[in-house]
Amino acid sequence: MENSCFNIGRFRRYFVHDFLRCMKKAGLATLLCGLVPIFTLIMSAWIFTSIGLHDWHTDLFMNEAIAAIVSVLYFLMVPIACYGDLTDRRKGAQYLMLPASHIEKWTGMILNSIIILPLVFSALYIGTDALCCALLPKRCHDILISSRANGLALFFLPTMVSAAGLAGALLFKNRKGAKTFITCAVSFIVLCMIIITIAKKADNWLIIGTETEAWYIFQAFCTLCLLAYTYIKTKKIEL
């Protein structure tokens, strides 16, 4: 099958082109989101000194909450920003007609929106946070050190969220951001309800923690399903 052919030279050419295109679309957003710890620091400084609290430091819980919110939104939206145009009659045609095999285009898509850009963002975020703490140790808590999140969770969850974002980018025709977010939120709530129901009915209480293997397996399964969907959708898309 010719579309499953992976030509290294052609892929390299295509990937560089696509990466630069994504950077143009989402580069600034990545930078701004990655620098959020600085903004948080400035905001905290401003708020606390305004109310007269000069011996302040940032609240760990608040930092973690902000990190979680910004991350999830970033992971979800970046694929939409990069590849949302694919369903557009005009811009999508340009993408589809570019001479490269389907597998090369899909691989590029996954690499850019699910791996590379999220990694850049994460590195920027963590790095900025670490920098703030290094410069103003009395004022901050280092997220990396204080976080209760396990390393594996930091891999599975972002990947799944980005995969969901990409699937949403391809599934919906308009208002992709909102629709994807709502679909994910609703799915998450439904999932929680199901788990709670199962847990109540089971003889043994399942340990519901974010570090259980079952949760990782479930996330991996979801991610694979979503990726499979993106593969099939880009292959079969009609404009």
Residues 6+ apart with CB under 8 A from 10: 99, 100, 101, 104
Cβ–Cβ under 8 Å, residues 161 and 222: no
Segment contacting other proteins by CB under 8 A, of 34-42, 85-93, 110-118, 202-210:
85-93
Cα distance between residue 27 and residue 124, in whole Å = 12
Cα distance between residue 44 and residue 51, in whole Å = 11
Segment contacting other proteins by CB under 8 A, of 5-13, 56-64, 141-149, 202-210:
5-13
Quote the radius of gyration of the chain (alpha carbons, Å).
20
Minimum Å gap between C-beta 140 and other proteins is 38
Residue 3 engages other proteins in binding (rule: CB under 8 A): yes
Chosen residue from 41, 81, 86, 100 binding other proteins by CB under 8 A: 100
Please identify, using beta-carbon distances, which residue of 99 and 151 lies nearer to other proteins. Answer: 99
Chosen residue from 8, 55, 61, 99 binding other proteins by CB under 8 A: 99
Minimum Å gap between C-beta 80 and other proteins is 18
DSSP structural state of residue 185: H
State both tokens at 84.
Answer: 């949302």
Residue 239 engages other proteins in binding (rule: CB under 8 A): yes
State both tokens at 235.
Answer: 């292959």
Segment contacting other proteins by CB under 8 A, of 76-84, 95-103, 126-134, 203-211:
95-103
Residues 6+ apart with CB under 8 A from 86: 92, 95, 96, 169, 170, 234, 237
Chosen residue from 54, 90, 138, 200 binding other proteins by CB under 8 A: 90
Binding site for other proteins (CB under 8 A): 2-3, 5, 7, 10, 13-14, 17, 24, 89-91, 93-94, 96-102, 104, 236, 238-239
